[in-house]
Amino acid sequence: MMELVEPAPAKLNLALHVRGKLPDGRHRIETIFAFCTDGDRLAVTPADDLSLKISGPFVSDLGSSDENLALRAAQALQERAGVKGGAALALTKNLPVASGIGGGSADAAATLRLLTRLWAIDPKHAAAIAPTLGADVPACLLSMTARGDGAGDDLQLTDAGVSGKPVLLINPRVEVSTREVFARWNGEDKGSLDDWRDGRNDLEPIATAMVPLVGAVLAWLSVQQGAEVVRMSGSGATCFALFDSEEARDAASVAVPREWWKLATYLR
């Protein structure tokens, strides 16, 4: 049985500045996307129909497979490229759901890459569908460090200088709605994103007000030895710290309170 596999790397926003509103009601942002060496996993075998089977630690936090972004990506690609056959998809859900690290977007993007290979179709179809599935999906399709403008889907590859960097992700196990966080933005434009290290995540104070545990995670990460940059990713609630060494990252990782989800990984 032929099986193809694609990683669905966890996404981080190294910085995220909200600059204003777009005509379609979404927000104009400036962000630096980076990706981790760990994440979810998609596998596929040829089949007559499209189907999705989900396993892994966060399977119970997802609704029915029919509404899964991975399956919706597959359906859209099949339709657009006029593919006759189907595919049996298998998702291993390792990343917490609605957590600011692009889980659903990464899964949709990995599905597009996987089916482009399986069906041997032009990659232009995947690129055209990606922005219709979510603002983060084009970045996840690349899964390479990039600057995002517009709704976050106007991309330019960049070198943030942190490839291979040890990173620790912590989520306090509270789901956060991206739509709700953006809706609470107060309209204050605090300025352009130049150097991401001096930047910020403008959604961080909003998510912290909604979920005070985000503040607790940020405070916890900030006092860890060797932590260089500590910030929230996306609309939260996952926060991350970049470390000056693998040893420092690992020492922090073993000390993470047991009730929080953690991932000790590297930037791609």
Ligand X SMILES: Nc1ncnc2c1ncn2[C@@H]1O[C@H](COP(=O)(O)OP(=O)(O)OP(=O)(O)O)[C@@H](O)[C@H]1O
Ligand Y SMILES: C[C@](O)(CO)[C@H](O)COP(=O)(O)OP(=O)(O)OC[C@H]1O[C@@H](n2ccc(N)nc2=O)[C@H](O)[C@@H]1O
Positions in the binding site for ligand X (CB under 6 A): 62-63, 68-70, 97-105, 107, 136, 178, 234-235
Residue 204: which H helix or E strand, with range? helix 204-210
12, 14, 17, 31: which one contacts ligand Y (CB under 6 A)?
31
Shortest separation between residue 62's beta carbon and ligand X, angstroms:
6
CB-count exposure of residue 112 (10 Å: 0-12, 13-18, 19+): buried
Say whether residue 204 binds ligand Y (CB under 6 A).
no
Pick one of ligand Y, ligand X, none as the site partner of residue 185 (Cβ within 5 to 8 A by kind). Answer: none
What amino acid is encoded at 15 in this protein?
A
User: Among residues 4, 182, 216, 251, which is the contact residue for ligand Y, using CB under 6 A?
Assistant: 182
Which of the residues 92 through 121 are near ligand Y (CB under 6 A)?
A: 105
Rounded to whole angstroms, the Cα distance separating 80 from 32 reads 30
- The item of ligand Y, ligand X, none sharing an interface with residue 31, based on CB under 5 to 8 Å by kind, is ligand Y
> Min. distance of Cβ 214 from ligand X in angstroms?
13
Question: Residue 14 phi/psi, 5° resolution?
Answer: -65, -35
Number of helical H runs and strand E runs in the chain: 8, 10
Check the annotation: does 98 bind a ligand: yes
Nearest residue to the partner ligand X, using Cβ: 104
Q: Considering 11, 93, 165, 262, which one is annotated as catalytic?
A: 11
Q: Which of 38, 40, 107, 136 is an active site residue?
A: 136
User: Among 182, 171, 174, 177, which Cα is nearest to 218's?
Assistant: 171
Nearest to 98 by CA among 62, 51, 59, 130: 62
Residue 103 in marked binding region? yes
Nearest to 137 by CA among 184, 90, 178: 178
Comparison of 105 and 253: residue with beta carbon closer to ligand X: 105
Distance CA 100, CA 57 (A): 17
Is 27 one of the binding residues for ligand Y (CB under 6 A)? yes
User: Looking at beta carbons only, is 99 or 224 nearer to ligand X?
Assistant: 99
- Based on the residue annotation, tell me whether 136 is a catalytic residue of this protein: yes
Q: Is the Cβ–Cβ distance between 147 and 32 less than 8 Å?
A: yes
The answer to whether 7 is a known ligand-binding residue is: no
Binding site partner of 26, from ligand X, ligand Y, none, Cβ cut-off 5-8 A by kind: ligand Y
93 noted as active-site residue: no
Report the run of H or E that residue 248 belongs to, with start and end. helix 246-254
102 annotated to a ligand binding site: yes
- Give the residue from 114, 141, 117, 140 showing the smallest Cα distance to 127: 141
- The residue count for binding ligand Y (CB under 6 A) is 17
Question: Which residues belong to the annotated binding site for ATP?
Answer: 96-106
Site residues, ligand Y (CB under 6 A): 13, 16, 26-27, 29, 31, 105, 134-136, 151-152, 178-179, 182, 234-235
Catalytic positions? 11, 136
